[in-house]
Structure 1
Amino acid sequence: MKRAKIKTLKQTAKNGLFSLVFENEDYSEFEKFILKFRDEADAVKDLNIILSYIEQMINGAGFLERYFRPEGKMKDNVCALPVVSGKLRLYCLRLSDSVLIAGGGGRKNTKTYDEDTNLNGYVISLQKLESLIQVEVKKGNIVIESGMIEGADDKIFEL
């Protein structure tokens, strides 16, 4: 099992963008995704599309369901960007219209994410995180509202 914390990446008056940071790592999963693909000529166009979507959502109406590609299982809120076709996928956890946890991602070379061990790993981590967050919400330890994940700052999640 890996241990991770939730890191706030960007906060506006209405929306919040977060990511996972695994223990003993300097960068969040989202930051590693950007660093990995920002200098690759055949991936930079897709990366810029994803970053543009996120920027528009955080500064606009929020992380509405229609802006994401459904991924994961029917019972979870794991989704991916971009909605349009492309070579890259960024896997995310939509906790509400105002709260998004950006996970990791990579090149999509298979029909489904679960055919690729790396992509499957990103999705499974987000599914486990969502399950743990739901437990904490039910206990009253975490509150998700208005672009915030209150109570998660000092929590370590065992994924």
Structure 2
Amino acid sequence: MKSKLVYLTNLSGKKASVYSIVTSESQHAFLDRFILEYQEEFFQDLLSIIARLRSIAHVTGAVSTYFKLDEGLEWNDQVCALYDIPDRHLRLYCIRLSEQIVIVGNGGPKNVRAWQDDPRLAREVTEMMHYSGIIRTRLKENTLRISLNRLKLEGDLILIR
């Protein structure tokens, strides 16, 4: 299955860029699928998540205080969850490459203590860990690069899975 990093123009700004992933199985990016799946049941949570992403992009950058870091199983996989707001239960899993670049994935409602206890969340986090490994390898090999202004990914954005 082929997949591609896509730059989300409507969510990116002068402080940070937001990317998502599109696979050959779907025409929708992970973030779009997340929104479509939860727009009815978790509408307010989605509004909060989108507002937080816009704030990251235009005002603050992807500062660590907005994320629950180290959600993945490896110490350096950069997988995190967008920090939840009190009384919100929807999780969006991301790869936080830097304070200027975030790759948003998918997620779901968290009704358990740890994501490992929920098959859906476990699948989403595992998928993001997989993509993080590919992206980190590609950055090391220099087939994928961070732009001089630190806001964009350059090079081959196709990820082969």
TM-score, L = length of structure 2: 0.88
Gaps of 5+ in 1: none
**Where in structure 2 are the equivalents of 1:71-110 lying within 5 Å?**
71-73=71-73, 74-85=75-86, 86-110=88-112
Per-residue CA distance 1:100-132 (angstroms, 9 max, x = gap): 000001111211111111111111111111111
Structure 1 position 151, deviation (Å): 1.1
**Where in structure 2 are the equivalents of 1:44-83 lying within 5 Å?**
44-70=43-69, 71-73=71-73, 74-83=75-84
Question: Which amino acid in the other structure matches residue 151 of structure 1?
Answer: G
Correspondence for 2:130: 128
State the aligned residue count.
Answer: 154
Correspondence for 1:150: 154
Per-residue CA distance 1:135-159 (angstroms, 9 max, x = gap): 1111111112422111133x2331x
1:60 match: secondary structure: helix
Structure 1 position 22, deviation (Å): 1.3
Gaps of 5+ in 2: none
Give the direction of change, closer, same or farther, for the CA distance of 1:17–1:66 in structure 2 (3 Å limit): same
CA contact (8 A) 2:93 2:124 kept: yes
Per-residue CA distance 1:23-52 (angstroms, 9 max, x = gap): 131101101111111222xx1121111111
Q: Aligned partners of 1:3 and 1:93: how far apart in 2?
A: 19
CA contact (8 A) 2:108 2:121 kept: yes
2:129 match: secondary structure: helix
Correspondence for 2:142: 140
CA contact (8 A) 1:19 1:30 kept: yes
Structure 1 position 90, deviation (Å): 0.4
Question: Which amino acid in the other structure matches residue 153 of structure 2?
Answer: I
- When structure 1 is superposed on structure 2, of 100-109 and 61-70 the one drifting more is 61-70
User: Stretches of 4+ moved more than 6 A in 1?
Assistant: none
CA contact (8 A) 1:129 1:157 kept: no
Q: Aligned partners of 1:83 and 1:107: how far apart in 2?
A: 11
Question: Which amino acid in the other structure matches residue 146 of structure 2?
Answer: I
Structure 1 position 14, deviation (Å): 3.9
TM-score, L = length of structure 1: 0.89
CA contact (8 A) 1:6 1:152 kept: no
